Structure 1
Amino acid sequence: MPAPMAEPLLSGRSLRLWAGALVVAALLILVEGNSGLDVWMADAMFDFHTHEFPWQHAWLTEHFGHGTLKVLLTGLGALPIAAVVWDALRRGRALTPWWRLRVRLLALCTALIPLVVSLLKRASHSHCPWDLERYGGYQPYYRLLEHIPRWVEAGHCLPGGHASSALWLVGLAVFWLPHDARKAATVAGWALLFGGLVGWMQQLRGAHFLSHTLWSMWIAAAMLLALLAAHRAWLRTAHAREAAALQRIAN
């Protein structure tokens, strides 16, 4: 049961505003994914003379971006999970309530954002650019909302999985909530941009389209908002139970 002064990290009005922004963002990504922008950008990254993506095996994009950076981010993401486990082993004596809530939310972002992206990717029929006939592969290209015939092999490439190794950083925003919502939004924005940059390096390699990265960014923002909404709902339920218990005692 929360303390009497416990408050949600995000107000109901802010939740509604950000939810509306996410709906608009989803519509814009749908438009982008069904326009020619994905292919136009992939064309710009592909060398039609050598029939390859010049950045596919470059040190920056493959060895650093796809290798070293991912390992570093995964290791960094293990820290909040380890902190939650340590606090549990210490029976709540390792962290103060203020830190415990926020570290738990960050740990959930660390675990859930890559997991959700991975599960959606496994269910996806969209192909990576380098698998397409246009770029030397063997599969036809279909836009996001186009019907894909059953005979076409599933591509499992949407959303962009690699970007999610960085997008959990969006959870850092909770450390500025509720006292400085503007700074929290700034932190979340920079985290999304960083995740987008990680995804961009894979686009240079021909591993993803722009829409794949944008959907990963959207999922990360939606997961953070869902966690904040869940915390708010939990507080309301707990406070209602506390009030009912006090009312029964008074009667």
Structure 2
Amino acid sequence: MMQDRSYFLLKQSLLLALGFGVLWNFFSIGGMLDLKLISPFVDLTGQFPLKNHWALAELNHRYVKNVLILVYLSFLLGWLASFKYQAWQIRRWEFGYYFGMVIVSTLFIGILKSQSAHACPWNMTLPGPNAVLWNFSATAGHCFPGGHASSGFALMAGYFVYRRSNRTRAYFFLCSASILGFAMGWAQMMRGAHFLSHNLWTGWIIWCINVIAYALFYHKLPQARRH
């Protein structure tokens, strides 16, 4: 048990260090890659034509997020039910830990965002004679890391909950978190709400939080059943 924990945490630490190096060196906030990737969504007047597009502003920003909130609430309900139904008591830590990690990770992103001096892209553009100019002195702030993407990346907690008891379920949560977090963040980038770096850092921070929590509560999480 301890050997599995040590090996897994070592591997995760190396991956986190590698991810940090890639983000730090290639995805600086408002850097070359950020500007190159967001440029197709800015017009010559410095506006983002897709800012109020229904699929991005309503479907992605509201409905998808609401569906994810319902998923997370189902774990809260499972945790509450474990106090009433004896058959569910064995899953109390599973449900409570998952919901708790979602709250901790999204709340942490929200706190960082509320204290951030980084402005959103749609507050930084200026029309130029031949191309859009970027005003990096904009002080609107509160735009880093990406808050909306955290709703998708928070699914990552499921990977850590189920990696020993149900690998198929664990990888389902990991893949779902990666796809939804990236897609929700990309949609926000198309609207001008965030740079890609904002959302990638969100994913890295949530990943880091989950690794730390897993190191502390490894022994409490579900294990593979012995036959």
Under a length normalisation based on structure 2, what TM-score does the superposition of the two structures give?
Answer: 0.83
User: RMSD over aligned Cα, in angstroms?
Assistant: 2.9
Q: By how many angstroms is 1:19 displaced?
A: 1.3
Instruction: Determine the structure 1 residue equivalent to 2:119.
Output: 127
Where do 5+ consecutive residues of structure 2 fail to align? 222-227
- Identify which of 61, 68, 81 aligns with 1:66: 61
Alignment partner of 1:11: what SS?
Answer: helix
- Amino acid in the other structure paired with 2:36: W
After superposition, where does 1:1-251 map in structure 2 within 5 Å?
11-34=5-28, 35-48=31-44, 50-88=45-83, 90=84, 93=86, 95-97=88-90, 99-134=91-126, 140-141=135-136, 153=139, 155-174=141-160, 176-179=162-165, 184-185=170-171, 187-232=173-218
Deviation at 1:94, TM superposition (A): 5.2
Q: Secondary structure, in 3 states, of the residue corresponding to 1:198?
A: helix
Aligned length: 216
Runs of 4+ aligned structure 1 residues displaced above 2 Å come to 7-10, 32-35, 85-88, 133-140, 174-177, 179-187, 232-235
Say whether the 8 Å CA contact 2:105–2:154 is kept in structure 1.
yes
Q: Which moved more, 1:166-175 or 1:182-191?
A: 182-191
- Sequence identity percentage: 25
Q: CA–CA distance in 2 between the matches of 1:42 and 1:214?
A: 14
SS of the residue aligned with 1:184? helix
Counterpart Cα distance in 1 of 2:2 and 2:173? 19
Say which structure, 1 or 2, has more relative contact order (CA 8 Å, 6+ apart): 1
CA contact (8 A) 1:176 1:183 kept: yes
Which structure has the greater CA radius of gyration?
A: 1
1:101–1:10: structure 2 CA closer, same or farther, 3 Å change rule?
farther
Shift of the 9–74 alpha-carbon distance from structure 1 to 2, 3 Å rule, reads: farther
Structure 1 residues 186, 13: closer, same or farther in 2, change over 3 A? farther
Partners of 1:44 and 1:103 in 2: CA distance: 42
TM-score by length of 1: 0.75
